Amino acid sequence: MPSYRPIPNPKELANTHGLGRVVKLDTNEVPFGPLPGITETVARVADDARLYPDLSNTALITQLARQYEIDPSTVAVGNGSVALIEALIKGITRPGEEVLHSQPAFEAYPLVTTVAGAVSVTAPRNKHAHDLDALLTAVTSRTRIIIICNPSNPTGTYIPLEEFERFLDLVPRNILVIADEAYIEFVTPPPQRDSTTLPAKHPNLVVMRSFSKAWGLAALRVGWLCAHRTVTANIRKCITPFSVNAVAQAAAIAALHQAPEMRRRAAQIALERDSMIKELRRLLPGIPDSQGNFFWMPLGPLSARFASSCEQQGYVVRSFGDYGVRVTIGLPEDNVGFLRVAEDLLN
């Protein structure tokens, strides 16, 4: 079965290559410290570590519903968005049924699909973007779920809401569509309408969100979804009880209260992203526009070699087979250092 590639340890890499410091640009973490109040909240809640967390995530769901102006009955919370996707696949598919997504894709999709006993089916991309027509063509009588990562991991491309709705209109209603929006906060300019409004019209749609990226809580593992209340009520039964610990719940609530600061940081990352793409396009014109906190370098068969050479010089990036390399946006000084290394290698 597929496995998720381990994340390199910076200290071990530094020792291996004789480097003073290694910069991680491979896992799409934000480069800043915690949002204001997070550290204090974590310390306070940790004092009650002997107690079980709120099984129903009531306070967090209430805050999410208030902030996004949606019905609490349409919201579910889990131990990261990946765990929620896994719960959906386990709850909906039977052995041998199919989960469809683009290729290349987030590496966890085929992993959680296989664990659930389902079959991972892929459709090719069109110039690094989701090919919605190819996905529709790949639908069979065994297709139960289609996953659309938007903005797309690993390429960063984005499907505007109007185009995505046209796709939803063509998907059979007995197929669940998961819109994995882990990077939605980095879209520039922000969408005028939030996709959490769509499940009311499209009851086979689940909108997935994460606190791991723009909110800076990757270590605490909190994800949430918005769906038709019938879907949400049933998927809550498939989520492992107490899977979101008390510290994670409290930190997520504290983060939501810092939404303006989150948006300021996300906008800063987007500016760095666009600047880096502009610089690198002089040597690699095929880099697509990105709406994530990363960008895509379509290096084909040279991807692994490029990533290895970057690592030897202290910059860890993530290669995806013979498709390309994904580079996370780091601190400004780290971005400048990577650009220098990348330009040398591309030349």
Please give the sequence-ordered ranges of beta strands (E in DSSP) within the chain, or none if there are none: 23-24, 75-78, 98-103, 119-124, 143-149, 176-180, 205-210, 223-227, 294-297, 315-316, 318-320, 324-328
pLDDT beyond 80 at 8: no
Percent of the chain with pLDDT over 70: 99
Q: Which residues contact 287 (CB under 8 A, 6 or more apart)?
A: 277, 280, 281, 295, 296, 297, 298
Q: What is the mean pLDDT of residues 26-47?
A: 96
* Residue among 23, 61, 57 nearest 242 (CA): 57
Amino acid type, 215: W
Q: What is the mean pLDDT of residues 9-37?
A: 89
* Residue among 116, 108, 109, 57 nearest 87 (CA): 116
Tell the residue number behind the tokens 């994460």, with chain if given.
210
Q: 3-state class of 281 per DSSP?
A: coil
pLDDT beyond 80 at 325: yes
Q: 3-state class of 4 per DSSP?
A: coil
Q: Which residue has the higher pLDDT, 137 or 7?
A: 137
**Same fold for the domain at 10-34+260-346 and the one at 51-256?**
no
CA angle 149, 155, 159 (to 5 degrees): 50
- State the Cα–Cα distance between residues 142 and 147, nearest whole angstrom: 15
- Residues 230, 206 contacting (CB under 8 angstroms): no
| pLDDT 10s digits, 149-197 | 999 999 999 999 999 999 999 999 999 999 999 999 999 999 989 999 9
Domain spans in the chain, listed from the N-terminal domain onward: 10-34+260-346, 51-256
Tell the residue number behind the tokens 């940081």, with chain if given.
265
* Residue among 90, 92, 55 nearest 76 (CA): 55
* Residue among 93, 110, 181, 167 nearest 136 (CA): 167
Predicted confidence band at 14 (pLDDT cuts at 50, 70, 90)?
confident
Predicted confidence band at 12 (pLDDT cuts at 50, 70, 90)?
confident
- State the Cα–Cα distance between residues 316 and 73, nearest whole angstrom: 42
Type and span of the H or E element at 108: helix 108-115
- Check residue 109 and give its pLDDT: 96
Q: Which residue has the higher pLDDT, 176 or 12?
A: 176
Predicted confidence band at 1 (pLDDT cuts at 50, 70, 90)?
low
Average pLDDT of the chain, as a whole number = 95
| pLDDT 10s digits, 82-122 | 999 999 999 999 999 999 999 999 999 999 999 999 999 99
pLDDT beyond 80 at 7: no
CATH topology classification for 10-34+260-346? Aspartate Aminotransferase, domain 1 (3.90.1150)
Kindly indicate whether the domain formed by 51-256 is annotated with CATH number 3.40.470.10.
no
The distance in angstroms from the start CA to the end CA of the chain is 38
CA–centroid distance for 163 within its chain: 20
